[in-house]
Amino acid sequence: MGTLSMRARRQMNPDLADWVQRVIDDVRRLKPMPPNIARVMRLLDDPNVSTQAIASAIGLDQALAAQLLKLANSAFYGGSRPSSTIHEAVVRVGFDQIRVLLLGVVTMGPLSKRLMGYRMAKGQLWEHALLTAASAKVIAQRVAYAQPEEAYVAGLLHDIGKLTLDQLMRAEAPRVRLLADREGMPDWQIEEQLFGIDHSTIGGMMAERWKFPPPLSYAIQYHHAPTFAPRHMELAAIVNIGNAISGRKDPQQADKQRRRAHPEALRLLGINTDMLLHELCEEAYVFSHQLLGAEESDANG
């Protein structure tokens, strides 16, 4: 992974092929994750780490500490009295949710940008990421996946590759519109046809560069083809279905949702009836809109 194939090069003009390769090379040279975030992430990977050690590391970054306290005192976690110290906030929120917070801090800004190549307004990709994350967590809980918060993070980050490919999609806008509007192709198929690589592959490269845990990297890279994942296939399948049902509640859309989800992902997770799919849609809809409501409340508060 990381080089445009000769077959893909032959199928596009030389200038475009060179541009695509430069985009791939740029991903390989991405700046590493900010050191303050990376430090806390390394601590969280240590099974013997203490809450005090995490609190101390977060306390070295004023902005990160403020984000954690805000989360701990939000509607989701607020107790009978507010958390007034970083240690109290760490205990209240828990390590898994702190990991979500850290990755959210890294990606929220970029994921909130307008993506003209994908015809996505400012904030639209971030909203889709939140909806997919919520849906993935609901599915993970229903199928007894061991780490539902991991599914949430994978859902949140599944489309990060679009941030990089947007420049190419924008440059090829007339052909993109033709394939999307007339042919009904989804984004990833358009990317494959035009550039020989799609946003999930680019996203997997970005995840590796930022040293995300392997389950997240594989889930991001294979969320459109989960059964091709050499490892962590179940998580990739959860994200695939979470992406398909994100934000949808109407049971009449079951056929459309089933078509959007990879059939092997549904089979792998045992989601084999429309009734179960309807239930997952409704649960995910409620949870995701609670999340969006809480975020809007925090933004206005």
Instruction: Report the percent of the chain where pLDDT is more than 90.
Output: 53
Q: Average pLDDT in the 82-93 region? A: 92
- Crossing angle for the helix pair 148-157 and 124-142, to the nearest 10 degrees: 150
pLDDT of residue 24: 79
User: Residue 284: pLDDT above 70?
Assistant: yes
CA–CA gap between residue 215 and residue 199 (Å, rounded): 18
SS3 state of residue 146:
coil
Q: Which domains occur in the chain, in start order? A: 31-111 (no CATH), 113-300 (1.10.3210.10)
pLDDT in tens, 246-281: 866 554 555 555 567 899 999 999 988 777 888 888
Minimum mean pLDDT range among 118-122, 129-133, 270-274: 270-274
| Mean predicted confidence (pLDDT) in 100-116 | 88
Question: What pLDDT score does 292 carry?
Answer: 67
Contact predicate 177/118, CB 8 Å:
no
Q: How much is the mean pLDDT over the chain?
A: 85
